[in-house]
Structure 1
């Protein structure tokens, strides 16, 4: 058995599909299948079973998956330790940010990066969280800020900032909603929300689903800035992070009501690949992000 076989097996288990593992590993499917077969032959066990929707680990596969993750983690740390031993913090780093976050944080990150690493350069890529997660695990970016990313053995995540979602509407709205709106009362408002898959939509749908609240979604718009602009024209409401109420053109602020019982908070995470090609500078950049005053910058 070798580290390639172990990594391929972990990704296939995580993706529950050989074809989806191709997208993550950027390796032809026959090669992935062959490496997993060699692993099964050596271990004298069937590790995967085919289902109508892909594959899933057998009982033996689940048992081996536990060991495989530990071996993979140890190999990654061993590599990083040797890279740290010989390297200095220099080069080029690529950071992925959601567009709304990028507008607020990019000036502060670049300023601090230039101060600390004058011989290095930084690239800021702006994309939605779902796309940046795929870039991260394919080593196309070195680190990213993501909203509620699905877990992966190929990356580490830590919560950086949590922000309340609010019910937003034009200041001319009459009658205006109360200062606090219960989740059970959201059904009465015509809403503009992003379409799935989207982290805000998933949070709202999950919370409302738990309380059997059926929302009145009159339009689906996928970019927060466009949602804010649409809401600013009146006659509709939206559910967005508190800081987004000032994102309309001309800095026209929306009004908003707090959502309570329960409060809904998003989760902005700092994500890094466990086996990235530029880990030293990526971790140094991550330290800059950890040091930011998110509560102030996100206002």
Structure 2
């Protein structure tokens, strides 16, 4: 039994998939399969059962998973304790950003990081909030700026700011300047898939008011979604940051949703399973101080767009 085997097993077990674990670890699926199989041979126990949907833990696998997470956690703790003892700030800080934040904040945050921590490096990953929470729990990233859509196991969150969600329509569409949320049912929506935080938010608000949404199309990527809106295939529910990032700089009809408005809360998140290095702790503090001025500057652009 070695650390490579334990790390492979933990990722596969917690994600219930060799494919997803391989993508997160940056290894091939056959390589992970060999590691887990060798672990099973060494322990003379079947740890996982394969089925058509992925893998499930056996009783022996559940026992080993708890011990393995503790072992890997202790190793992470020892590594970070030694780094803190040396007082070093020359490691690598890994940050994940939700797409709406990445579009306006990446450049400034990297500049700020390089100025404050010239001996360290930064890795920026963009991903849906559901993926960012998963990456935090698995230790792939140190922190994330993501949508807070409710309780997320293994993740601590602190709210930074909120984003208002608008109904986005093609230019010149006959849509009022504001609509009550219950009236959303009258508009065919082009909306991201269920893993997307925006979809979760809109459906959550609609369900609380007993509103049955009219989902016309599911499109995960914003640029083609906006293309379809422009062509009149339906309407989108998006924050205006998504419109401001449109490379074609199109002018869409933006309608405020009321009674109630839909607010997406953006939070800075860290794992409660992996100890923070001194660099990561300092970098997260920097992010919190830097992100609000960036957001406030973005709000001025939004106000000008609504003009």
Q: TM-score, normalised by structure 2?
A: 0.69
Q: Distance in 2 between matches of 1:92 and 1:59?
A: 37
In structure 1, the residue matched to 2:255 is 256
Cα displacement (A) at 1:245: 4.9
* Residue 85 of structure 2 corresponds to residue 85 of structure 1: yes
SS in 1 for 2:181: strand
Instruction: Note the alpha carbon deviations across 1:56-96, whole angstroms, 9 max, x for none.
Output: 22345434433433333233212211122225213665644
Is the contact between residue 100 and residue 241 of structure 2 (CA under 8 Å) also seen in structure 1? Answer: no
Cα displacement (A) at 1:29: 1.0
* Residue 16 of structure 2 corresponds to residue 16 of structure 1: yes
In structure 1, the residue matched to 2:221 is 223
Unaligned runs of 5+ in 1: none
Cα displacement (A) at 1:172: 3.7
In structure 2, the residue matched to 1:180 is 180
Instruction: Note the alpha carbon deviations across 1:7-36, whole angstroms, 9 max, x for none.
Output: 333223212234544444423412222113
**Superposition map of 1:78-227 within 5 A:** 78-90=78-90, 93=93, 95-120=95-120, 122=122, 124=124, 126=126, 144-147=144-147, 158-161=157-160, 162-169=162-169, 172-176=172-176, 178-182=178-182, 185-195=183-193, 197-205=195-203, 208=206, 213-227=211-225
In structure 2, the residue matched to 1:285 is 283
Q: Distance in 1 between matches of 2:33 and 2:85?
A: 36
Distance 1:166 1:76, change over 3 A: same
Distance 1:211 1:71, change over 3 A: farther
SS in 1 for 2:90: coil
In structure 1, the residue matched to 2:62 is 62
In structure 1, the residue matched to 2:36 is 32
Instruction: Note the alpha carbon deviations across 1:78-136, whole angstroms, 9 max, x for none.
Output: 22111222252136656443443223213432342243124445465556567777887
Distance 1:235 1:174, change over 3 A: farther
Is the contact between residue 201 and residue 262 of structure 2 (CA under 8 Å) also seen in structure 1? Answer: no
Is the contact between residue 190 and residue 218 of structure 1 (CA under 8 Å) also seen in structure 2? Answer: yes
Q: Distance in 2 between matches of 1:210 and 1:47?
A: 41
Is the contact between residue 166 and residue 259 of structure 1 (CA under 8 Å) also seen in structure 2? Answer: no
Is the contact between residue 246 and residue 253 of structure 1 (CA under 8 Å) also seen in structure 2? Answer: no
Instruction: Note the alpha carbon deviations across 1:166-215, whole angstroms, 9 max, x for none.
Output: 32335743241644323xx3221022223454332344356556777543
Q: Distance in 1 between matches of 2:59 and 2:261?
A: 39
Is the contact between residue 128 and residue 197 of structure 2 (CA under 8 Å) also seen in structure 1? Answer: no
Is the contact between residue 105 and residue 297 of structure 1 (CA under 8 Å) also seen in structure 2? Answer: no
Instruction: Note the alpha carbon deviations across 1:121-153, whole angstroms, 9 max, x for none.
Output: 546555656777788789887654345699687
Q: Distance in 1 between matches of 2:64 and 2:93?
A: 35
In structure 2, the residue matched to 1:265 is 264
Q: Distance in 1 between matches of 2:17 and 2:107?
A: 41
